[in-house]
Chains A and B, each alone.
Chain A
């Protein structure tokens, strides 16, 4: 468990708010629109509509702010690093200097811009994964990929593979810990010594892990067949939902966000 804890990105935060209840496909599309908006922006001011959109989404979702802050924590280092680089190495009008260190106003502007970009990207993805259960998300991805079926992309199978992978992450993590404990109790030194020694110490963990994973895969294939699964056979879906007003609202708002960002660019 210790591996998986504290990592918020990708974690589901169950709830019953309109954001939770809206269609995963719509949320996925809206997230993509918002991310495109974030990526095409060139001025911090263009982030204003995106920030408004995400903040209202967060408020409506009733997921505590703490959850989002924890989501930002892992990228804090990245933010600090890029901010430092931007501030120190952007040429321009210096507003403060100390020896060779020189802070320019252009540097500050750029640092603010990049910080906003990273934070907004994180908020958007945390909001999506927190308000959508993994199974809904994989179904949505499969729906999104459906048009590519005509060029031979097995979208339903991809979704199934993703959900099985998600199902087995905790099981495999538990297994890894068990193997580490077993090897340590036999005197294995894991993560000690130089780089080569450290790499080598992972072999006694990886080999049993692979062996057991292959056995699992074998069993799983039989279990799936035993429950009537066949590749290329049509399947229906347990999770079913139509298109509701919330979905329309989310879609319209995400497009408005994109439009507003474009307008802000044009006006300047």
Chain B
């Protein structure tokens, strides 16, 4: 489990120190799926980098702790090994001239033996369905395929967590779905913890917990249903609730005990019960 205790982060700029994140307390259990949402500049990417061990907090602790123990003598998060980070533009994340070499890049950094690297590259290619592209140069892949290569490269290092920082925002809807499906499959099959930073509702609704960030603090966290039920956090977090949730609210004006529905199926079911 990744644990953040009273984590603050500020940057020195010419105009003085800017506090980007303040007093963040969060826990990410092993194998969980969490969405992090919030308006532009709310500190999501900074949080993602802190979680991945790429930044050190100005104060507070980011640590990996055993789920059983109550108080943490945790250890530092090691980038790549414990947490793999994938971000927005796939073009800027691929390092090597072919798909398989790119996947091997992180493994080379781990100083693994050759046989082990070959095994892991093969596994990663298979998991994301990239086998036929193994010798392709990155520029001959589609955006979705490139992003899958980026995920495969991170995955080959066998991290306990995968952090996706708006990793699908440059992709078209079908590529986006395909990538997210691959990620959710990895969570189900390998038990990898997933943290998605996103602006997209369908990605939020696929998760079991969401954290709303605004102005560098956590203003709400919990199940998506509960978060969308609290109107303040929805407004402050600049969230646009799903259409079905907004329709549910309108229904509640007439029928006060109409449930808050997050998708169309639920809504239709609730509406049928009325009549």
Tell me what chain A mostly uses at the interface: helix, strand, loop, or mixed: helix
Q: A226-B54, A227-B154, A236-B111 are in contact. List 10 more A-B contacts (CB 8 A).
A: A163-B95, A170-B139, A220-B92, A222-B49, A224-B95, A226-B80, A227-B109, A229-B109, A233-B109, A236-B117
Q: Is B96 an interface residue (CB 8 A)?
A: yes
Chain A contacts of B101 at CB under 8 A?
135, 238-239
Complex interface: stretch among B11-19, B83-91, B246-254: B83-91
Q: Is A234 an interface residue (CB 8 A)?
A: yes
- C-alpha gap A174/B111 in the complex (Å): 34
Q: A163 is contacted by which of B89, B92, B96, B154 (Cβ under 8 Å)?
A: B96
- C-alpha gap A230/B137 in the complex (Å): 24
Inter-subunit contact B80/A164 (CB<8 Å): no
The proximity string for B residues 73-108 relative to A, scoring 1 for CB distances below 8 Å and 0 otherwise, is 000001111001101010111111110110011111
Chain A contacts of B240 at CB under 8 A?
none
Inter-subunit contact B79/A228 (CB<8 Å): yes
Chain A contacts of B104 at CB under 8 A?
238
Inter-subunit contact B91/A237 (CB<8 Å): no
Chain B contacts of A222 at CB under 8 A?
49, 54, 85, 87
Inter-subunit contact B111/A235 (CB<8 Å): yes
Q: Is A249 an interface residue (CB 8 A)?
A: no
Interface size on A, residues (CB 8 A): 32
The proximity string for B residues 101-128 relative to A, scoring 1 for CB distances below 8 Å and 0 otherwise, is 1001111111111100110010000000
| A117-139 interface (Cβ within 8 A of B) | 133-135
Q: A167 is contacted by which of B89, B95, B113, B150 (Cβ under 8 Å)?
A: B95
Inter-subunit contact A226/B85 (CB<8 Å): yes
Instruction: Report if A226-B95 is in contact (Cβ < 8 Å); known contacts: A14-B135, A236-B108, A238-B121.
Output: no
- C-alpha gap A238/B98 in the complex (Å): 12
Q: B138 is contacted by which of A134, A163, A167, A223 (Cβ under 8 Å)?
A: A167
Q: Is B34 an interface residue (CB 8 A)?
A: no
A116 to chain B, nearest CB (A): 34
Chain A contacts of B150 at CB under 8 A?
223
A254 to chain B, nearest CB (A): 27
Chain B contacts of A229 at CB under 8 A?
105-106, 109
Chain A contacts of B153 at CB under 8 A?
227
Q: Is A240 an interface residue (CB 8 A)?
A: yes
- C-alpha gap A167/B96 in the complex (Å): 6
Inter-subunit contact B81/A228 (CB<8 Å): yes
Inter-subunit contact B114/A226 (CB<8 Å): no
Instruction: Report if A227-B106 is in contact (Cβ < 8 Å); known contacts: A135-B98, A167-B96, A219-B93.
Output: yes
Inter-subunit contact A234/B139 (CB<8 Å): no
- C-alpha gap A134/B98 in the complex (Å): 10
What is the chain B residue whose CB lies nearest that of A237? B108
- C-alpha gap A223/B54 in the complex (Å): 10
- Residue ranges of B at the interface with A (Cβ–Cβ < 8 Å): 49, 52, 54, 78-81, 84-85, 87, 89, 91-98, 100-101, 104-114, 117-118, 121, 135, 137-139, 150, 153-154, 157
What is the chain B residue whose CB lies nearest that of A235? B108
Closest 8 CB pairs of A and B: A228-B80, A219-B92, A238-B104, A227-B106, A228-B109, A223-B93, A170-B139, A226-B85
Q: B112 is contacted by which of A167, A170, A236 (Cβ under 8 Å)?
A: A236
Chain A contacts of B113 at CB under 8 A?
236
A135 to chain B, nearest CB (A): 5
What is the chain A residue whose CB lies nearest that of B113? A236
Chain B contacts of A56 at CB under 8 A?
none
Instruction: Report if A234-B114 is in contact (Cβ < 8 Å); known contacts: A219-B89, A225-B54, A228-B80.
Output: no
Chain A contacts of B92 at CB under 8 A?
215-216, 219-220, 223
What is the chain B residue whose CB lies nearest that of A222? B54
Chain A contacts of B89 at CB under 8 A?
219
Q: Is A16 an interface residue (CB 8 A)?
A: no
B271 to chain A, nearest CB (A): 46
Q: B139 is contacted by which of A134, A171, A228 (Cβ under 8 Å)?
A: A171
Q: Is A166 an interface residue (CB 8 A)?
A: yes
Q: B79 is contacted by which of A166, A167, A226 (Cβ under 8 Å)?
A: A226
Chain A contacts of B154 at CB under 8 A?
226-227
- C-alpha gap A215/B93 in the complex (Å): 12
- C-alpha gap A167/B141 in the complex (Å): 13
What is the chain A residue whose CB lies nearest that of B109? A228
- C-alpha gap A127/B78 in the complex (Å): 44
Please name 8 pairs of A and B residues whose Cβ atoms are closer than 8 Å in the assembled complex, sorted by A.
A170-B139, A171-B138, A215-B92, A222-B54, A222-B87, A223-B85, A235-B109, A236-B107
